[in-house]
Structure formats: C-alpha cells, structure tokens
Amino acid sequence: MAEEKKGFFRSLVGRITGDEAPADEEGRVAAAEKGNGAKPGFFERLKKGLGKTHENLIGKIDSLLLGRKKIDADTLEELEEILIMADIGVAATGELIRSLEQRLKRNELGDGEALKKALKEEMLARLERNASSLDTTAASPFVIMVIGVNGVGKTTTIGKLASKFSAEGKKVLLVAGDTFRAAAVEQLEIWGQRAGVEVIRHKQGADPAAVVFDGCKAAVARGADILIVDTAGRLHTKVNLMEELKKMRRVMGREIAGAPHETLLILDAATGQNAVSQAKLFYEAASVTGLALTKLDGTAKGGIVVAISSEFGIPVRYIGVGESMEDLREFEADQFIQALF
C-alpha cells in the first residue's frame, strides 16, 4: 500500500512538473535518450532528420484520410499515388497496395487509423525481410570494398566507419583506392587521422589495383582486423569504372581469401529515384552485398530506403542523419519506421 501511495504521489508530482514518463513506446525511447540535459539521442535526431519525409508522406496520408468514413478501393488508389510521389518506388508501392487490398477484402481496414497501422506493418515487414547487420568477424582481415558515385558521401562514410570500428577495439586499415579524383586521397587521410587509423596510399593517378595490392599485403602483415577500400565514382566513364572495380576485386580475392567480404554501396537518399538508378547500375556490375544511405536528414525522399531495399533485396547496413561521427548508425528497420510515422 505504501508503494502504491508513493507511486501515486510520484505520478502526481510528475504531472505538475511535466516530468511524467510518457506511456507510449516512442515517448519512452525519447525520454531515455534525453538523459541529463545531453544532446538529443539518435532516435530523436532520426525523427528530426525524417521530418520532411514524414510531412511528405504521412502528412499527405493524414490529409487523404481526413473526414473519410470508410476505406475503399478509391482510397487505396489515391494512397498509391502518394506513396509513389514520396519515392517509395513503383515496385514497392505495388506490393504494398496489393497487400492492403487483401486486408480490405478481409474487412481489416475499418477506418483511417487501421489503414495507417496496416501500412506501417507492411512497410516494416518489407524492410525486415532483407535486414541483416554486418558481421566483420566472419574473416580476418575483413575486407570492405566501398563503392558509389562521387558526391554521395563515400569518403565521409568510410571515415565514420573507421572511427566506429576503431572505437570497438578493432585494428583498421584504409586504402585510398580513389586515385582519380583530385584531393580524394588527402580527404581520406584527414578522416584516417581523426579516426586514428593508417591509410595506404599512392600518388594521384596511380593504378588503383596497385594500391589495393599494397593495402592487402599491409593488412595481412600488420594483423589488421578490418580493411576498408575506397574506390573511384566517376560515372561519366562508367565502362572504365566498372572494369576498374572488377580488377580491384580480383586483386583483393587473390591476396585475401574471399575478399571483398562486403561490397558496400553508398547512396545519397536525397537524390530519390536517381539513387535507385545508381543501385541498379552497381548491383549489376559490382556484386553489391550491403547499402549505406547518407543525407537522410533534411530530405523529403527518405521513402527511397523502402524502395531500394524492396526492389533489390539488399540489406541496408547503415544510415546517416548528420555530419558528426555518431550520426552514422547501423540500420534498424523498426526504429526507422517508428521515426518515419
């Protein structure tokens, strides 16, 4: 009884002061991350970063459902248009609508809230279907080949990954394989210094495969746990680029068994459907095994995460919602959908 009274008074004080713990799951996550006046946690930053996407997608869905007394085929047709315009993609949208039509036939979509809940569940199911985290303990050294067009945040992502792995106690080595772009090597070296890891480099214009060869030799000789290889991203000479990537892969595989163990494609989420085109190009030519989506903060095109994951069946490994080191995180489908809705 004394505990009940204590709980009651604590709850009463909480209501008066505004410190009462939120009852819902999202509230609990946000409250836990607020900490002792620290800066917002990742969930809060993710939610803020997806603000424009939320407005572009959920805001329009709310407008569609406003005042609707029943959900019918016309409602789903209008919803389909909203999903496509929000960069969910034609293929993924088609899948989602077909699933919702089945639910409608089973009388599971009684009102707008039921429809939103069903859409949330269906989107989550598609992201979870392809979800898997990167296991860097599967080989030693574990070789990650990082690919993507110029300007998507490739080198920055490599630096953040190096920092993350290094903080976990792993010995990391970077290879400056983008010898084509001016200042690419210097940029990688700056990130290497920040992360406290060594960078294997040659002069600008050198053969990227030769740099990779030296990097693989160094990784084995120095007992590195993880080797991360940067690559060029000049799509205007895409035939040459793809041949170059294949050559680099052959060198890695010859020097380290099974390498590259991960081919991580970096995509700029803000480019929307253009990111899908890039994914298709690299998927066909470079055996992509994982995705990292950058620049989710501030874009209205965050729905592209669902589109790419669904269309290619490739797991999203990482997402970026800001410039700082901690703004690159392992992708969690449930967290992403919670923040989006």
- Residue 21: inside a domain: yes
Task: State percent of the chain over pLDDT 70.
Answer: 87
Task: Give the residue-averaged pLDDT of 128-157.
Answer: 93
Query: 30: domain range?
Result: 2-38
- What are the residues whose beta carbons fall under 8 Å from the beta carbon of 229, sequence distance 6 or more? 143, 144, 145, 146, 174, 175, 177, 212, 215, 248, 252, 260
The pLDDT score that the predictor gives to residue 236 is 53
Phi, psi for residue 287 in degrees, rounded to 5: 50, 55
Taking 60 as the threshold, does the pLDDT of residue 4 lie above it?
Answer: no
Contact predicate 253/136, CB 8 Å = no
From the list 124, 92, 88, 118, the residue with the least C-alpha distance to 105 is 118
Angle at alpha carbon of residue 186, lines to 184 and 189, rounded to 5°: 110
- The alpha carbon torsion through 103, 104, 110, 116 (nearest 10 deg) reads 60
101-125 residue pLDDT tens: 999 999 999 999 999 999 999 999 9
Average pLDDT, the chain: 85
How many Å is the maximal CA-CA distance in the chain?
77
CA 234 to chain centre: 22
- Residue 299: inside a domain: no
How many domains would you assign to the chain? 1
Angle at alpha carbon of residue 277, lines to 273 and 278, rounded to 5°: 115
- Residue 9: inside a domain: yes
Contact predicate 147/282, CB 8 Å = yes
From the list 185, 197, 199, 175, the residue with the least C-alpha distance to 248 is 175
- Residue 309: inside a domain: no
149-188 residue pLDDT tens: 988 999 999 999 999 999 999 999 999 999 888 788 999 9
Task: Give the residue-averaged pLDDT of 306-325.
Answer: 87
18-74 residue pLDDT tens: 444 434 444 444 444 444 444 567 788 888 888 888 898 999 999 999 988 889 999
Phi, psi for residue 332 in degrees, rounded to 5: -125, 115
Task: Give the residue-averaged pLDDT of 313-326.
Answer: 86
The pLDDT score that the predictor gives to residue 15 is 40
- Residue 27: inside a domain: yes
- Residue 16: inside a domain: yes
- Residue 10: inside a domain: yes
Among all chains, which residue has been given the structure tokens 């989710």? Answer: 296
State the SS3 of 256-312.
CCCCCCEEEEEEEHHHCHHHHHHHHHHHHHHCCCEEEEECCCCCCCCCHHHHHHHHH
State the pairing for strand pair 316-320/328-330: antiparallel
How far is 26 from 34, CA to CA, in rounded Å? Answer: 12
The pLDDT score that the predictor gives to residue 31 is 44
- What are the residues whose beta carbons fall under 8 Å from the beta carbon of 336, sequence distance 6 or more? 46, 50, 127, 305, 319
265-280 residue pLDDT tens: 999 988 888 888 888 8
Sort residue 87 into left (φ over 0), alpha (ψ -120 to 50) or beta.
left
- Residue 104: inside a domain: no
